[in-house]
Structure formats: C-alpha cells, structure tokens
Amino acid sequence: MFAMLHWLARARGALIPPAPAGGGVLVDLGCGGGLLAPFVAGKGYRHIGVDMTASALAQAAAHGVVPVRADVTAIPLADCCADVVAAGEILEHVTDLPAAVAEACRLLRPGGLLVIDTLASTALARLVAVRLAERVPGGPPPGIHDPALLVDRAVLRRECARHGVQLRLRGIRPSLVDLARWLAGRTDVVRMLTVPTTAVLFQAAGRRELPAGGG
C-alpha cells in the first residue's frame, strides 16, 4: 500500500469537524479500502464510501463504511444529502474534472463542507510527485499517476465556484524529520505540514453557499 495515502487520510480527517447535533452524513469519494474511517470515527457521521473497486469497498465496509459502487462522475445518491464530501487523492485520476466537481457539489447540503487533497498540474508536481516519488521505497507504483490528469488549480476553483463552493487552498508536504524516521523504520506516522506553495500537493476546503436569505 502506498504509505502516503495513510498520512494524507489523517490530514484530511483533521479538516473534518464533528457532525451536527443528531449526526450527519459524510460521503467519501474514491474511498478505497476506507483509509479515512479511523480518522473520522467518533465524529458522528454516517460514512458512505464511493469507489469503483469491489474489493476496496469490501475492505471499507469492514471499517464501518457504507459502500456504494459507482464512478465519481455519476453517483447514485440524492441531491443535498451530505454534510461533508471528501475527495481525497481521486481528482488527479478522473478524466472529467468538471463532472466530478459537479457531482461532489451536488451532494452537499447548503452550508456543507467540501474537502479535497490532490496534486497540482505543474512541472514541479510532475517532477516531485510522479518522477521522484515513484522511485522512493513505499512510494506510489510506477505509472499510477497520469501527468495529463493532474489538477489545474484555477479550473478546480472555477468549477467549484460555479456550484456555489468557494475553495481555500493550502500546500502540504510530509515532515522531513518524520519521513527520515519512517525510511529508517522508526515510525509509521508521518505528519503532513503546511507549506507556502500549492504547486505540488495541496488541500482545499470550502462550504456550499446558503440560499439567499437562508440560515
């Protein structure tokens, strides 16, 4: 398993607040084997995972995730059903970014939170996150990222805004100290730290706007 997916799931979970009183719904796009589940457990959500891979959904279900087998551009869930939609390390794998964004935003209730982490469409990201990372032990399998699908930040922001979600972006990277300890076999946890640039790996978050005059 690509170890960094676990580190990113922890960082993604930290952006997700406790559910509203009485509980809430979290829709986890590209949920894989349910890596996010331990980091939102106890926050009061019904955790729904959307993925195309049946074996991954079976693993997610074992972690308490409600599995839905579907493409992230055509999700069989109702409009405005989710308090939170998380799209972690999935947008850089979709061929139709506007369609995936539209679906994510459609699922959000007014005031609901969209949480994203993904790779930027830049020369630096292609160098660091594709060419170099694929050579690191425990890094992504060679060829898993198509450089042509890395995410244009301006397009992502524009498409979210079209659906009433204004995104805030921040760059993140692994702690170099933790990474050295992990490479030496001394830790399993590597913290993700914020950095000034969003040109490689970034998180994004924003809430769906409320109706005019609504609360």
**Euclidean distance between CA atoms 41 and 63, whole angstroms:** 10
pLDDT digits (tens, 9 = 90+) for 116-153: 999 999 999 999 888 777 766 666 777 788 999 999 99
pLDDT of amino acid 175: 96
Class for the domain spanning 3-120+149-204: alpha beta
Q: Where are the domains of the chain?
A: 3-120+149-204
User: Worst-scoring range by mean pLDDT, 64-73, 165-174, 177-186, 194-203?
Assistant: 177-186
Rounded to the nearest integer, the mean pLDDT of the chain is: 93
**Euclidean distance between CA atoms 150 and 13, whole angstroms:** 22
Tokens 């933790």 locate to 178
Residue 156 reports pLDDT greater than 60: yes
**Euclidean distance between CA atoms 10 and 87, whole angstroms:** 13
pLDDT of amino acid 2: 74
